[in-house]
Chains A and B, each alone.
Chain A
Amino acid sequence: MTLEVTDFSARYGRIEVCRGIGFTVAPGEFLVVLGANGAGKSTLLGALAGLVTSTGEITLDGTRLDAAPARRRAGMGVALVPEGRRNLFAPLTVDENLQLGLRLLPAGEREAMRAELLGLFPILAERGRQAAGMLSGGEQQMLALAVALARRPAVLLLDEPTQGLAPIVLDELAAAIRRLRPLGLALVLAEQNVRFAAGLADRYVALRGGEIVQAGGADELRDHRFAAASLLGAAA
C-alpha cells in the first residue's frame, strides 16, 4: 500500500513542531527522514502513528487515516517502533510480547506469522520465556521490530533504531531491516546516523526546524561529507 502524506503539521499544545510536510512512500520502498536532535523526526513519526496532534492528510492507498486515534491506526496497517523500543512491555516475556503483536491477525494466521517472525529474527526463538526487559539492546530492537511486524502492517515507522546500541550491533540491525524488503512494506526510518541510513535508504528527506529542507536519492547520502554538512550541520 502507498503511504501519502500531504501538507502535514504536528503540534504539542500550541507549539507547532512540524509543518508543511509532504511525501509519498510506495510499497517496498524505504524512505529515510534525516535530521539533527530536535529537528522534529520523532514528532513526525509519532503524529503519523496517531500519538501526536496533527493536521493535514495521511492516506494509505487513498484511505484517510488522519482522523483515527493511534489504536485504530494500528488496525488500519500503521505500525510504529518508537525511540527507545517503547512499544515493548518489559516485564512480559518475549513470547507474550509477540502474542500481543499477533492478536490483531485472524486466529488462523497467527502461528504461521509467528514462525515467519522467528525466521526473520532467530535470536527471539532462544529467548521466548525471558522477560523483554532482560534482553540486550540489540535483542530488544529485534523484538520491537517483530512485535510491530506481527500484525502485517502496510506501513512501518521506525524511530532511531540505532539509539543506544553498540556499533557492533548496528550491522546486525541493518541486515535485519534489509530482510524486511521482500515484505513489501512502506518503511519510514527516522535516523541521524547517516552512515546507517545510507545503507538502507531508497530516498531521503531532511528535516530542519520541523520542515523538509532537502530531499533526494540514496546516492547523495553515501557522500558523507555532503550529508554531514547539508543535512545535519554536524559530523555524521
Chain B
Amino acid sequence: MTFSEFILRGVLAGSIYVLLAVPMSLLFSTVRTIDFAVGAYALVAAAVAASVGGVLGIAAGLGAAVAGSAAMALIFLLLKRFGCHNHIIYALASFGVATALASAVLWQYGTQSFVRDSFSQFWSLAGIRISPQGVLNLVTALVAVTILYVVIQRSQLGRMMRAAAVNVMGSELAGIPVELIQVGTYLVGGLLGGIAGLLILFTAGLDYSAPLSLTLSGFAAAIVFGIDNPFRALFGGLAMGVAEALAAGYTSGMVTSMVPFLFLLIVLGTSRFGDATVAGDRT
C-alpha cells in the first residue's frame, strides 16, 4: 500500500471518530462537562439494530441510543436538582451510564460480535481500492457536521446554545431555556453516537467491550485541536484516523492501538485541554 492509500483509508476510518468526537465537544461547549457514555450509545445502537434487522432495526438502534442518552440527561437533571453543580460529577456519572449500558448489552446478547455485511464490491480511485461503506461513513459524518454547523451558526436555536454555553445567568435573564438546551445537547450526543454505532456495525463490527476504546478515541479526537469548538472535532477525528492508518501501515498493531493515548498525551502535555479563551473577550 502506498502513503496516499494510507491517508485516504485513514480519512475514511476517521469519519467514525468525528461522529464520536463532535457530541463530546458540543456538550463541553454547552455544559462544560464530558459525556463518556458516547461509545456506549454506539454499542447499544449497533446491538439493537443487529438484533432487529433491516430499516426498522436502524430506527430502533437510533432510538435505543437516544434513550440511553436520555437516561444520562435525566441523571444530569437530577444531580442539578439535588444541588450538585460539579461538572466532574456529571462526567463520572456518564461513566456509570456507559458501564450500565454495556452490561445491559452483555446481559441481553452475550459476548457475540455485532457485524453486518454492507457492500460486496469495492471502488477504485486512482488505483486505490476503497470501500463504498467507508465513503458512506465519511459522507454521513460530513453531512452531520454540516447540519450541526448550520444549526449552531445560523439558527435561533444555535444562538441560544452558544449563549447558554458562555453565560448561563445572562441566558436566564434573556428567557432562554438553559436546562432544555443542555438536555437537548445530551440527546444530540446520543443520536450522533448511535449513528457512529450503526456505521461501525456495517464496517468493522463491535462487541460489548468496545465502548471504552470508542469513547477514548472520540475524546482524543475531540480535544486535539481544542474541545471548545465542535467543528475542530471534525479535523481531530480525521487526523486520528490518518494517524492510526499510518501507524498500522508502517509500524505494529500495538502502536496503532496507542494512537488515541498519544493524542491525549500531546494535548495534556501542551495544556490545550479546556483552553476556552475567546478572542476579544473584554467583559
Q: Which residues of A contact B (CB under 8 A)?
A: 49-51, 69-72, 74-75, 79-80, 82, 84-92, 96, 99-101, 103-104, 131-135, 140, 147-148, 151
Contact = CB atoms under 8 A, between A and B. Distances in A.
Contacts of B174: 74, 87, 100-101, 103-104, 147
Given A74-B174, A87-B169, 15 more contacts: A74-B172, A74-B173, A79-B173, A84-B283, A86-B283, A87-B174, A89-B162, A89-B163, A89-B166, A89-B170, A92-B159, A99-B159, A100-B159, A103-B174, A133-B281
Interface string B228-244: 00000000000000000
B208 to A, nearest CB: 41
B79 interface: no
Contacts of A50: 172
B160 A80 contact: no
Contacts, number: 93
Contacts of B280: 90-91, 131, 133-134
Residue from B167, B172, B281 whose CB has the most chain A CB atoms within 10 Å: B172
A100 B241 CA distance: 38
A91 B169 contact: no
Contacts of A69: 172
Given A99-B156, A99-B159, A100-B160, A88 B283 contact: yes
B175 A71 contact: yes
A79 B282 CA distance: 23
Given A92-B162, A96-B159, A71 B283 contact: no
A80 B172 CA distance: 10
23 contacts: A51-B172, A70-B172, A71-B172, A71-B175, A71-B176, A72-B175, A74-B172, A74-B174, A74-B175, A86-B170, A90-B283, A91-B280, A92-B162, A92-B166, A100-B160, A100-B163, A100-B176, A101-B174, A104-B174, A104-B175, A131-B281, A133-B283, A135-B282
Interface residues of B, number: 23
Contacts of A99: 156, 159
B96 interface: no
B53 interface: no
Contacts of B281: 90-91, 131, 133
Interface string B172-206: 11111110000000000000000000000000000
B169 A89 contact: no
B166 A90 contact: yes
Contacts of A133: 278, 280-283
A46 to B, nearest CB: 9
A49 B173 contact: yes
Contacts of A75: 175
A49 B174 CA distance: 11
A141 to B, nearest CB: 11
A100 to B, nearest CB: 5
Given A91-B278, A134-B280, A82 B173 contact: yes
Contact of B166 (A71, A80, A91): A91
Contacts of A147: 174
Nearest to A99: B159
Nearest to A49: B173
A90 B171 CA distance: 12
A88 B170 contact: yes
A100 B172 CA distance: 11
Contacts of A100: 159-160, 163, 174, 176
Nearest to A93: B159
B156 A82 contact: no
Given A84-B283, A85-B283, A86-B170, A92 B163 contact: yes
Nearest to B177: A71
Contacts of A89: 162-163, 166-167, 170-171
A135 B282 CA distance: 8
Contacts of B156: 99, 103
A95 to B, nearest CB: 10
A104 B177 CA distance: 12
Contacts of A91: 162, 166, 278, 280-281
A74 B171 CA distance: 10
B15 to A, nearest CB: 28
A86 B159 CA distance: 17
Nearest to A91: B278
Contacts of B166: 89-92
A79 B175 CA distance: 10
A217 B159 CA distance: 43
B68 to A, nearest CB: 28
